[in-house]
Amino acid sequence: MGDWCLSLALNVNVIREDFPLIKDRKIVYLDNAATTQKPIQVINAISNYYMKFNANIHRGLYELSQEASKLYEEAHGVVAKFINAGSWEEVVFTRNATEGINILAQALVNRYLKPGDEVVISIMEHHSNMLPWIRLSETYGVKVKVVGIDSDGLLDYDELSNVLTPRTKVVSITHASNVLGTLNDVRRIAKLGHEVDALVVVDGAQSVPHLPVNVRELDVDFMVFSGHKMLGPTGIGVLWGRKDLLEDLPPVLQGGDMIKYVGIEVKGGVLINHRIIYNDLPWKFEAGTPNIAGGIGLAEAVNYLIRLGMEEVRAHEVELTRYALRRLDETLKDDIKILGPKHPELRSGLISIAFKGINPHVVASLMSTKNIAVRSGYHCAQPLHEYLGVYDGTLRASFYIYNDVDDINAFISSLEEVINVLSK
């Protein structure tokens, strides 16, 4: 392993005490880009809600409902502070980042987009930030432009600048690629987009859990992310948007709690007139009974990350990634190809590996027999893999706050063993 000396920003031994599954299963969990494990604080917060505060929100004048409503509303405030939103009203809870982008795409096409208008994305997008815009091209005649990447896996900013036109109405780019690990310069993207008066949307699913994110400093218009990728429960996500824009956009989901008033006029059994007044933000976009427990659990997850410090979380992952890249280069550089930027400062804490004549699914399956959890396949980014000429998919290891050097050593040792067996 050479003369490597590693100093991690987080005390992993202490952190692991908060994660029952990792302690009980003795698992080397390296699939954090797909979902993260949950600390006992989050598990208890969800359990505590159901045991002590379970009631529907915004419906009842009785004390229990008021308590549940207060907890749910405060959860929006915790998330708003975490990303430095202008107001908690700018934080809309969704099921996940995927639903957030779908809601946004539909709202934008109902208000802003016309046939022939352009939406710009990149080739490195997750399907969630690609398919909703493609659907608009199929059904509304919106034109989708796709920006490429350079040989290092970095966004081609010259191409981005060149494809922007006065018809460009939306630029929707990932902050961090879930395959390449590439960290995009969101401020630069926002500046370019705003120069042609386009709205700038950011997929923060792989960035918000891993590094400090300040939506106002980034100068973007919308951002989405998922709770389950940042220690929170599944089924809860965030659509953040500038208040003036959210106020102007129509709601996509209709039903309870997203309205202040509904009146209809019926004649002869036929609706002939109606009047609807939508609710205030963020409730206008949260139709029906929401995932109350999920919102409370997400707030507790955010508080956990705040206590650790996002600068420390980022520094921890940079050092782990640096170590993993060097170890892989020392031991397996002739057998594998690592996708994405070579420098850990330019990428998030994940590494995707392509093989020569070896199926990544077989590798992942064999590694699972050593209790090492990694992801194989296209990672919901098949166009990117085909763009790179990687048609069998990749093996992905992704790190988080409870991973350490021993995890990486176990991963590389197992990977080396599997490659040796499959290469015979």
Give 139's contacts (C-beta < 8 A, 6+ positions apart).
none
Query: Which is catalytic among the residues 380, 405, 410, 422?
Result: 380
Residues whose CB is less than 8 angstroms from the CB of residue 138 and which lie 6 or more positions away in sequence, other chains included:
none
Q: Any bridge partners for residue 118, and if so which?
A: 143, 168
Opening angle at CA 87, ends 84 and 89, nearest 5:
130
Q: How far is CA 71 from the centre of its chain?
A: 24
5 is catalytic: no
Task: Using the structure block, give the residue that is written with the tokens 């070896």.
Answer: 358
Q: Dig out the tokens for 418 from the structure.
A: 């599997």
Q: Are residues 367 and 418 in contact, defined by beta-carbon separation less than 8 angstroms?
A: yes
State the Rg of the chain over Cα: 23
H helices present in 141-266, as ranges: 157-163, 186-195, 215-218, 243-248
- The rounded distance, in Å, linking the Cα atoms of 92 and 78 is 12
Going by C-alpha positions, the residue among 358, 357, 351 that lies closest to residue 397 is: 351
Residues 189 and 216: beta-carbon distance below 8 Å: no
CA angle 93, 97, 100 (to 5 degrees): 60
CA-CA distance, 330 to 325, in Å (whole number)? 9
Distance CA(354)–CA(173), nearest Å, equals 24
- Distance between CA atoms of residues 264 and 132, nearest Å: 33
Cα 25 to its chain centre, rounded Å, is 26
- The neighbouring-strand residues paired with 338 are 353
* Alpha-carbon dihedral angle through residues 175, 177, 181, 183, given to the nearest 10 degrees: -20
CA distance from start to end of the chain:
25
Q: How far apart are CA 367 and CA 419, in angstroms?
A: 10
CA distance 300 to 40: 10
CA-wise closest residue to 327 among 418, 412, 402 = 412
Positions marked active-site: 380
